[in-house]
Chain A
Amino acid sequence: MKYEAIVMGVSSGGMQAMKVMFPLFPKDFKIPIIIVQHIGVQSDGEWIKILNHNCNLHIKEADEKETIETGNIYIAPPNYHLLVEKDKTFSLTIGERVNFARPAIDILFETAAEAYEKKLIGVILTGSNYDGTKGMERIKEYGGLTIAQDPETAASSFMPAAAIAAMQPDHILSLENIVKLLLKIT
């Protein structure tokens, strides 16, 4: 298979974006999805339960050392950075904030690029800071596929626009069309 995993980064406006996208993935979607969503430290994960109601895939917080498997949408736990190891397991760290964020999209994207190389798809969605731009560059450097949400369709255009300006992603699409593309190429 051409691609083995998808990483997504999303910030302000993210909850709505995930509500739109997640239900569109079928139960037999072939590769795992890993997400950093910037969220308050005190989140109790209740929103994950709510999103699960309408989703064919299993949405869960990523655990340290957990093996990354198909059928899941993994979410970075609040207040930890999420890293992908070369053996396709997760690590969590409590490091300094990166781009004011912990979890930081850049850390997930950069480590996932090193682990999956060209078999990775990186998706940067709505958000109001520039986290994720460096990560998208790294995915591109390793030959992976890069997708940004069309800023005109994003609740908050700054994050995808920053990535687009810095690294010209392969595709710039609306949320629905991102999912359509992902279904087609995996």
Chain B
Amino acid sequence: MRYKETSDLEISLLLEAIYRKYGYDFRQYSQAHIRRRIMSRMVMSGFEDISEMQSTVLNDESFAATLLQDLSITVTEMFRDQSFYKSLRENVIPILKTYPFIKIWHAGCATGQEAYSMAIILQEEGLYDRSIIYATDFNQNALNHAKEGIYSTSLIKEYTTNYQLSGGKESFSNYYTSNYDNVIMNQSLKKNIVWANHNLVTDSVFAEVNLILCRNVLIYFDRELQNNVQTLFYNSLINGGILCLGAKESLRFSDVYEKYTEWDPRQRIFKKKY
């Protein structure tokens, strides 16, 4: 019965408390999603109600860290959505080739798989040495994992299939070294990736880039917050720069929509107008 008795007001007060105390702002995330995550933590940790949980959040930093992990979903894959990566190779790489130096921003990179996928493509296209990849997330644990580049062997089969179906030119096993239950990504893929903590809600522009990938992050935000983040991206892209969103994400409802052309609408790839 606890679900029914927990009001929206209690949830928003908890989010307000998290924001005021820790600076993490979830107030404009999908309410249904946040509510589910908070309630499942409440049940798992054995709290009677939200106010009991709230006082623990405020007084116990390690519990707060646990809750922040619950609120950040880091599910990701290498070469997720093969048709997207195919289009990236066909329709975006030729543009990147025209630049003497290439800056790429992965916003919400989670545990790094997307950034490594990009590094592999850049290597195969002969662009890696003149590229720098900024891979950012607000979840430091995920970033630490990303930086290590160690993934469970059990995932590799799926990643290999994804890689092949997305137009990969080599054998995927060239890109990692196996070590019992894990694989570790090659140093040569890591050397031009900069991993950094950046919060899309509260931090601002940090570089001017040629390409932004922000996939499956904005779905968690309400329309107003999506719009703010789209403005941040717009201001971070050079003229003619490319923005890639997730398969189910759209630019149409944001103020900057008119300032882009649809480069590959099916794959949600947009080009900033000059």
Q: Identify the A interface with B (CB < 8 A).
A: 63-65, 77, 80, 83-86, 91-96, 107, 110-111, 114-115, 138, 141-142
Partner of B220, one of A93, A111, A141, A142: A93
Size range of the interface on B? 20 to 34
A63 to B249, CA, bound (A): 9
Cross-chain pairs A/B with CB under 8 angstroms, 12 sampled? A65-B223, A83-B36, A91-B220, A92-B219, A93-B30, A94-B73, A94-B75, A107-B36, A111-B35, A114-B3, A115-B32, A141-B1
Q: Return B267 CB to nearest CB of chain A, in Å.
A: 13
A64 to B73, CA, bound (A): 17
Q: Return B249 CB to nearest CB of chain A, in Å.
A: 7
Q: Give the chain B neighbours of A91 by CB distance below 8 A.
A: 30, 32-33, 219-220
Residue of A nearest to B222 (CB): A65
* Interface residue B182 (Cβ < 8 Å from any Cβ of A): no
Cross-chain contact A141 with B4 (CB below 8 angstroms): yes
Q: Give the chain A neighbours of B75 by CB distance below 8 A.
A: 94-96
Cross-chain contact B248 with A93 (CB below 8 angstroms): no
User: Told that A65-B223, A111-B36, A141-B3 touch, could you supply 12 new A-B pairs with CB distance under 8 A?
Assistant: A64-B249, A83-B32, A83-B33, A85-B32, A86-B31, A91-B30, A91-B220, A93-B73, A95-B73, A114-B3, A114-B35, A142-B4
Q: Give the chain B neighbours of A138 by CB distance below 8 A.
A: 3
Q: Give the chain B neighbours of A96 by CB distance below 8 A.
A: 73, 75
Q: Return A97 CB to nearest CB of chain B, in Å.
A: 9
Q: Identify the B interface with A (CB < 8 A).
A: 1, 3-4, 8, 30-33, 35-36, 73, 75-76, 216, 219-220, 223, 248-250, 253
Cross-chain contact A64 with B248 (CB below 8 angstroms): yes
Cross-chain contact B30 with A85 (CB below 8 angstroms): yes
Cross-chain contact B31 with A85 (CB below 8 angstroms): yes
Q: Give the chain A neighbours of B1 by CB distance below 8 A.
A: 141
Cross-chain contact A83 with B248 (CB below 8 angstroms): no
A57 to B174, CA, bound (A): 51
A77 to B8, CA, bound (A): 27
Q: Return A92 CB to nearest CB of chain B, in Å.
A: 5
Q: Taking A94-B75, A95-B75, A111-B36 as contacts, is the C-beta distance between A86 and B216 under 8 angstroms?
A: no
Residue of A nearest to B218 (CB): A64
Q: Return A106 CB to nearest CB of chain B, in Å.
A: 10
Q: Give the chain A neighbours of B35 by CB distance below 8 A.
A: 111, 114
Cross-chain contact A111 with B32 (CB below 8 angstroms): yes
Residue of A nearest to B110 (CB): A94
A142 to B3, CA, bound (A): 9
Q: Return B216 CB to nearest CB of chain A, in Å.
A: 5
A64 to B226, CA, bound (A): 12
Residue of A nearest to B73 (CB): A95
Closest 10 CB pairs of A and B: A91-B30, A83-B32, A111-B32, A85-B32, A94-B216, A92-B219, A95-B73, A94-B75, A64-B219, A92-B248
A142 to B250, CA, bound (A): 33
A95 to B8, CA, bound (A): 22
Cross-chain contact B216 with A84 (CB below 8 angstroms): no
Residue of A nearest to B165 (CB): A42
Q: Return B213 CB to nearest CB of chain A, in Å.
A: 15
Q: Return B176 CB to nearest CB of chain A, in Å.
A: 23
